[in-house]
Chain A
Amino acid sequence: MNRQQEFVLRTIEERDVRFVRLWFTDVVGSLKSVALAPAEVEGAFEEGLGFDGSSIEGLARVFESDMLAQPDPSTFQILPWRGDKEQTSRMFCDILTPDGQPSAADPRSVLKRTLAKAADMGFTCYTHPEIEFYLLKSADLGADGRPVPVDQAGYFDHVPGGVAQDFRRTAVAMLESVGISVEFSHHEGGPGQNEIDLRYADALQTADNIMTFRTVIKEVALTQDSYATFMPKPFSDHPGSGMHTHFSLFEGDSNAFFEAGAEFQLSKTARQFIAGILRHAPEFTAVTNQFVNSYKRLWGGGEAPSYISWGHNNRSALVRIPLYKPNKGQSARIEYRGIDSAANPYLAYAVLLGAGLKGIEEGYELPLGAEDDVWSLTAAERRAMGHDPLPASLHDAVRAMEDSELVAEILGEQVFENFLRNKRAEWHDYRIEVTPYELRRNLGIL
């Protein structure tokens, strides 16, 4: 840690960095940034940087607005899109109260707390997200009132000379240059839709990486005169943008999810972890799918998982056990397919992990896996097989979360309350909105 602070100061000196941006995240996952001159960095390491937290969503109570941002030197990174002159860099921050305690309202500290709990149980947690997004011609809507994608290609399509191809190449190069390893990138199902998979890393680093990733993608799109969006469901008739995430737990250097010879090579720990996630999924869906629009993705078809189920390599299941080479026990993992690309990664990973750990702690039994395509079952069949639906709307999700002791415990009372307040307000705003749908359906005939 401290060598890292030293390294940061040295790099700033050597690379002639002119600005250091301190990054942190509000409760809904928007990136916040404040710029420092290099001379101020050492002070910020030692004492933190004071700022007024009251204007940041969900961060501080009005009457206790002084907060400190303390940069985490292990996240120091030069930002490449600012060019070689007047280099700019960034570090993620932890938010502290004026007396130097971790702020209970900081999403990053929520994830840190959950990871510390995992560590107490002897686990380190690795995650690996597959982030989908749409590349549009611009942020403006087209003549038909819908966004305009950059191309009309589909899954894994190679588009010769396409914008998307160029875009992905530049984006991947830039991600690599900020130290984010990319596993895979390809064209997704919708027109202009892309997916980029990040290499697995520990959960906190992954969450930081996702925040960086979104910025990088948006910056690169801007340089190419296009616009990137992580909105969960920008088109009614094309698939939404999910952020399937693979989770694995390690005990020391061995994968705690792997057990040679067990069904699907899944250890008892893995089964309990999945059981925890499935049992608590309705309670934390408001966090993993936090916008009104998120539910258009969850319930809009296109391979989004709407029912609580798990399966071995079953793409209709909420939790999927990916196939991997039998002798590669270290790569045993589970994939949660519910999260969308607009989630606050710190909170989303905290609740998923927290639910999984709860399953391990309490020794939950894993229900039977789904072998069929869950979407093609009838409602009665699904009910018979115990595949309950996820919440149908943000409103339902908020109600389910309100009753969840587990989510309150994971988020801490203050984030829990702030988050719910924010989401109730969103639902309220949405409810009073007259939508194009209503006008189209009703105006002409009523």
Chain B
Amino acid sequence: MSLAGRLISAGFTDLEKSTRFLEAPELAGIDAELLFAALGHAASPDLALQSYVRLLAVEPAVADLFTREPERATALFRLLGASEALGEFLMRHPGHLDAVRRPARVEPAVPPEQLRASLLAAVDADPAVENPVAGKTGTGAHQCLRAAYRRHLTELAVRDLSHPSPIDYLPTAARELADLAAAALEASLAVARADLAESYSADDIAAVRLAVIGMGKCGARELNYISDVDVIYVIDAPTLDEALASRIGTALATGISRGVYSPGPEPALWEVDANLRPEGRDGPLVRTLESHLTYYSRWASTWEFQALLKARAVAGDPELGRRYEEAVAPLVWTSSEREGFVESVRAMRRRVTENIPRHEGPKQLKLGSGGLRDVEFTVQLLQLVHGRADESLRVRDTVTAIAALSAAGYIGRTDAADLDNAYRYLRLLEHRIQLTQLRRTHLMPDGDAARHALARSTEGAMVSVRPTARSMVEKWQRTRRLVERLHETIFYRPLLNTAANLSLEDAKLTPEAAQARLAALGYSDPKGAMRHIEALTGGIRRRAVLQRQLLPILLAWFADGVDPDAGLLGFRRLSESLGESHWYLGMLRDSKAAAERLCNVLSSSRFITDLLEVSPESTKWLGSDPELVPDTFESQWQEIRSKMSRHPQPQDAMRLIRLIRRRELLRIAIADSAGLLTQAAVGNALADADRAAVLGALHVAENSIHASEPRITDVVVIAMGRQGGREITYGSDADVLYVHRPLPGADPAAAQRQAEKVVSQLAANLTQPSKPPVRAERVLEIDAALRPEGRQGPLVRSLDSFREYYKRWSLIWEAQALLRARPMAGSDALTADFLKLIDPIRYPSSLSDTDEREIRRIKARMEAERLPRGADPSRHLKLGRGALSDIEWLIQLLQLRHAARVPELRTASTLEAMDAVEAAGLLPAPEVETLRRSWLLTSRLRAANIIWSGRSSDLLPSSRRDLEAVARWCGYGPGKGAELEEDYLRLTRRSRAIFERNFYGT
């Protein structure tokens, strides 16, 4: 076999460089077979070879290791291939090569006392006494301490790397790493005491008792190979003056940090981080126990208690440390009763997935969805919620906590096993990545070579099939997804077992525990929620069985909404009315997107929930985007015609028409909530639904009237206002004009009477209660107030009468209103003639100064009079400062001025008119953009108001909860209500300025 082939089969990746190293003179005389056999054990043979060659240079004695002690050689190559940093340590201190030993069959854990004794001995301190003082001082002592630490680290790494199943060894290794760190802190403290003798009397130093409380992973005895060691310092010096005690205590604490972290020939170990102390960076470095307790009992925030869960006395005065542990434990376990616990937990959960630098996202082992933090967060939250009542959960480290949670039934046994496995695997990856350079990182390395080495080093020593980089990445991704899934359901699954009173699964909560958990997750009425869950999951019917499977994740989705309780209640009602419909169960089971949509809608929209409740079969649409495309006007009209032909009774036909409109409103709202429609499309679709209903109502009215008297006139309905512009929102009125034209030869007076009969019947058809009632209907109110002479004028006029009227009286506000006239229902010929009549009026060839002034005057008077009493003008969405009315009046003024010349301006739609205004250069493009954004946001807010609360309101909400809900509907993330408020006020202020300049000319 060629050398290259041999290198490849041994697992080398950088062939050129390794070939060069193989030719190194240091290797002369070493049996190549034995060398290759040993290299085969290294995770990265390239690295092992390089390090070995460099080691030979300083310690030629390792050359005959292969023949003398083959098993030690294997161990050495495992170490060199997995850790460049520890290889370099051995080169610096070849004397410590004896730390690389033949691994024992069963690895005993090294007891913490032994580590403490060894590190204290390294600085000439007496391990037998309680607060030892080192014999060595200064940087010299630091060097000894660090070398001894690294020697133990080397021993541990050899054992870890040689273990047949590193994933099983992980908790042991993590424990020993924490103990080793604790020993280093203890030894460093001994040195600090000795160093301090220069500035203080020995008695004073001895009088200050100092305990080092380990926090985080060190406190929990689950430390990484390298990470910051979080600590808190407690002092006690009853015999000394307070200030002096605090000075000495601070000097000792700083000394500890210097001992392990100051730069020196033997590099620093890790940073000692004391920022978890009360008041963080700003607080004093050391405090007395009493001062700690005062702080925690009065001022600490929720996350600080979560941190205290891990607190453990690791070094310094053991008695003081024990008193600290005993004193803070009760605080930790009552923290879930604190006010704001739920909010802070939810915020913390959001932070887990946020704040990751974008480019790191996919490589993160620790942060991000499915990372280590996810597991730790889940476990700690469950501990805090249930640990108050159940002392068996009061443990520090994650692995033990998972076992305890499972044993006591707070999480299912399978879930627990999965979670435990995932956690250990992710930790193992992290350990191996850190071990390479002894660098603090939580990122999956780039590049195939590094990943390949990582894959090899995470598998046990006895594994015969070596994993590839690819299989490792796949396994990692699988684990991540598993954690993500577990994180979603683990809180909720046992709730169901409680509710459904099942004995199938092991995990089951007491009713109190279940309610505590629901409250912690954001349900404000946990008792009610529990009742709903019981109702949904009780029994043995197929639906209950399926819902038991699904609810854990559904409950999590509700909890993400604005109103989780309403979401759950809505779901229960829906589920009860849908019963066993197989498509419903199938949809929930098979379509995750549909189920998530449903939960989102139910917990954030009263409007949709109400409609779904009366037409539960529409839930089906959630699973099918094609069903969520609004029906066109034509297809609705076709449906209505066929209904009318089959139901000759006007009331029956009318009821069916109104049901169609209700159905379409719901469809549009759901499509809107799923983000399938643009805002313009929503307005158009709603207007189409209204148009179909009005056309139907007109036909029904005419049919019933002409059944008893001959038709002597044609009636048409013209849409006006926002209805004309097809820019309405859910529950808008229909502004209309009625026009009729007597048939040739008909008596004008009789024709007028018949037309009046038709239009009043039409309005009644749409608004009168039907039998059986159309439940949850948003009745379409018809408003004809924009007709000539307003409310004083006749409801309907003949075309001739319109002509006559416009010739004599026409007022400019009527011309303005006609800008938005659009055919809605009735004879095409008559409609066309009407449009021909009004076009010269609404698109005048010139606008007189008097008319312009009149428009301004009317607008100004409206501003003064129309706003409801007490309403804040800056928050009124329709008539407020810079809101809809301002923008529309400005655009309409421009239309009146220029539409005769610019045909594109002849549109009833504000949005289209704005485009035309911009294209024709009538306003600068940035100004049009501001107007457009204001108009869109304001329209969106009006829709959001009714969608969220089920009631229409023209005010920007002021309660935080309502603001939050409408902000989400407008596309803002959770907790961004205040941002929406500020954005709205800013946008409308700007559009008001544009309006004032261009409309009033100020």
Interface residues of A (CB under 8 A from B): 1-3, 5-6, 61-64, 97-99, 101, 104, 402-403, 405, 408-409, 412-414, 416-417
Contact digits for B959-1002, partner A, Cβ 8 Å, 1 yes 0 no: 11000000000000000001001100110011001000000000
Of B279, B283, B294, B982, the residue contacting A104 (CB under 8 A) is B982
Residues facing A in B928-969 (CB within 8 A) are: 958-960
Residues facing A in B466-516 (CB within 8 A) are: none
Q: State A409–B982 Cα separation when bound (angstroms).
A: 9
Whether B870 sits at the interface, judged by CB under 8 Å, is yes
Establish whether residues B989 and A413, one from each chain, have CB atoms under 8 Å apart when the complex forms. Answer: yes
Q: State A61–B299 Cα separation when bound (angstroms).
A: 32
A9 to chain B, nearest CB (A): 9
Of A61, A101, A403, A417, the residue contacting B978 (CB under 8 A) is A101
Residues on the A chain within 8 Å of B298, using CB = 2, 5-6
Interface residues of B (CB under 8 A from A): 278-279, 282-283, 294-295, 298-299, 870, 872, 874-875, 958-960, 978, 981-982, 985-986, 989-990, 993
Residues on the B chain within 8 Å of A2, using CB = 278-279, 295, 298-299
Establish whether residues B870 and A63, one from each chain, have CB atoms under 8 Å apart when the complex forms. Answer: yes
Establish whether residues A5 and B299, one from each chain, have CB atoms under 8 Å apart when the complex forms. Answer: yes
B881 closest partner in A (C-beta)? A417
Secondary structure class of chain A's binding surface, majority of residues: helix
Q: State A6–B300 Cα separation when bound (angstroms).
A: 13
Secondary structure class of chain B's binding surface, majority of residues: helix
Q: State A3–B246 Cα separation when bound (angstroms).
A: 16
Given contacts A61-B872, A63-B870, A417-B874, 4 further A-B contacts (CB under 8 A): A3-B283, A97-B960, A402-B993, A408-B989
Residues on the B chain within 8 Å of A61, using CB = 872, 875, 958
Q: State A97–B294 Cα separation when bound (angstroms).
A: 28
Residues on the B chain within 8 Å of A408, using CB = 986, 989
Establish whether residues A63 and B982, one from each chain, have CB atoms under 8 Å apart when the complex forms. Answer: no
A168 to chain B, nearest CB (A): 37
Establish whether residues A417 and B870, one from each chain, have CB atoms under 8 Å apart when the complex forms. Answer: no
A437 to chain B, nearest CB (A): 29
A2-B299, A5-B298 in contact; A104/B989 too (CB < 8 A)? no
Residues on the B chain within 8 Å of A405, using CB = 990
Residues on the A chain within 8 Å of B299, using CB = 1-2, 5-6
Residues on the B chain within 8 Å of A98, using CB = 960
Residues on the A chain within 8 Å of B990, using CB = 405
Q: State A99–B295 Cα separation when bound (angstroms).
A: 24
A5 closest partner in B (C-beta)? B299
Establish whether residues A417 and B279, one from each chain, have CB atoms under 8 Å apart when the complex forms. Answer: no
Of A6, A63, A402, A413, the residue contacting B294 (CB under 8 A) is A6
The total of interchain contacts (Cβ-Cβ below 8 angstroms) comes to 52
Establish whether residues A104 and B958, one from each chain, have CB atoms under 8 Å apart when the complex forms. Answer: no
B880 to chain A, nearest CB (A): 12
Of B870, B978, B986, B993, the residue contacting A62 (CB under 8 A) is B870
Residues on the A chain within 8 Å of B279, using CB = 1-3
A101-B978, A104-B978 in contact; A413/B985 too (CB < 8 A)? yes
Greatest chain B CB density within 10 A among A1, A2, A98, A417 is at A2
Establish whether residues B985 and A414, one from each chain, have CB atoms under 8 Å apart when the complex forms. Answer: yes
Establish whether residues A64 and B958, one from each chain, have CB atoms under 8 Å apart when the complex forms. Answer: yes
B294 closest partner in A (C-beta)? A6
A100 closest partner in B (C-beta)? B340
B898 to chain A, nearest CB (A): 27
Q: State A101–B985 Cα separation when bound (angstroms).
A: 18
Of B295, B958, B960, the residue contacting A63 (CB under 8 A) is B958
Q: State A5–B299 Cα separation when bound (angstroms).
A: 9
Residues on the A chain within 8 Å of B959, using CB = 64
Q: State A6–B875 Cα separation when bound (angstroms).
A: 42
Q: State A64–B870 Cα separation when bound (angstroms).
A: 12
B948 to chain A, nearest CB (A): 17
B870 to chain A, nearest CB (A): 6
Of B982, B986, B993, the residue contacting A403 (CB under 8 A) is B993
A2-B295, A62-B870, A63-B870 in contact; A99/B960 too (CB < 8 A)? yes
Residues on the A chain within 8 Å of B978, using CB = 101, 104
Residues on the B chain within 8 Å of A62, using CB = 870, 872
Q: State A403–B990 Cα separation when bound (angstroms).
A: 9
5 tightest Cβ-Cβ pairs between the two chains A and B: A413-B985, A2-B299, A64-B958, A99-B960, A61-B872
Of B283, B870, B958, B960, the residue contacting A101 (CB under 8 A) is B960
Establish whether residues B958 and A413, one from each chain, have CB atoms under 8 Å apart when the complex forms. Answer: no
B960 closest partner in A (C-beta)? A99
Residues on the A chain within 8 Å of B985, using CB = 413-414, 417
A-B residue pairs in contact (CB < 8 Å), sample of 13: A1-B299, A2-B278, A5-B298, A6-B294, A97-B960, A98-B960, A101-B960, A101-B978, A402-B993, A403-B993, A408-B989, A414-B985, A417-B985
